[in-house]
Chain A
Amino acid sequence: DADVTQTPRNRITKTGKRIMLECSQTKGHDRMYWYRQDPGLGLRLIYYSFDVKDINKGEISDGYSVSRQAQAKFSLSLESAIPNQTALYFCATSDAGDGDTQYFGPGTRLTVL
């Protein structure tokens, strides 16, 4: 869905580096999410936000932080990246008035060496 974009699409970094993944949406949705996908584990929720002033931890928030800069922007940070954070990261958005269906971005493939 072109209305949800993620940058960068691919990133290789080294252990201990700080990295930020960004998500933007033009769908006008209030709710935004960050997931990580690992082979054989499905999608796991890291953080979610229902509006600019609302941030909630998901299933696996340790080692991550987020910032909701505006309704349309939700960033995920790894303060000190470690190799087991190598994964495919997806941002998603939803609108509670639309049955809360989640729309995913194209994903960011992150490799931590």
Chain B
Amino acid sequence: GENVEQHPSTLSVQEGDSAVIKCTYSDSASNYFPWYKQELGKRPQLIIDIRSNVGEKKDQRIAVTLNKTAKHFSLHITETQPEDSAVYFCAARPYNNNDMRFGAGTRLTVKP
């Protein structure tokens, strides 16, 4: 089955700096790659996703890039704010089943 690895496990940045979280996946059949944000004690919430037919997607301060050849995708957050502090999860899902696999998560801390 699919295996997703996520790095780094913790990330601390200064407010206003950029943050980058990287994930790799193993199954070339994967075609859907969402990113979820989970604040302390809350449920995961989708912040952005990308499908394999595009290489990049942007939504205000958040962007995701996908390299299908290398089987990796990344989350980029620009102009970070303290409210960006949370755990971020990447995930990958093959087109031929619905068994979504998540990365282990990255705890992002934005220091004011």
Contacts and interface: CB of A to CB of B under 8 A. Distances in A.
Interface of A: 1, 31, 40-45, 48, 50, 56, 58-59, 90, 99-107
Interface string B30-60: 0010100000001111100100000000000
Contact of A104 (B45, B91, B99): B45
Given A41-B104, A42-B103, A105 B43 contact: yes
Contact of B101 (A1, A59, A90, A105): A59
13 contacts: A40-B9, A40-B104, A41-B104, A42-B103, A43-B91, A43-B102, A59-B99, A101-B34, A102-B100, A104-B43, A104-B44, A105-B43, A106-B42
Given A43-B44, A43-B89, A56-B98, A101 B103 contact: no
Q: Which of A41, A43, A100, A107 has the most CB of B within 10 A?
A: A43
Contacts of A45: 99-101
B43 A107 contact: yes
Interface residues of B, number: 21
Nearest to B6: A42
Contacts of B44: 43, 90, 104
B89 A42 contact: yes
Contact of B43 (A1, A48, A50, A59): A1
Contacts of A59: 1, 99, 101
Interface of B: 1, 6, 9, 32, 34, 42-46, 49, 89, 91, 98-105
A106 B104 CA distance: 19
A50 B104 CA distance: 26
A8 to B, nearest CB: 16
Contacts of B100: 45, 102
A58 B34 contact: no
B22 to A, nearest CB: 15
A100 B94 CA distance: 13
Contacts of B102: 42-44
B43 A106 contact: yes
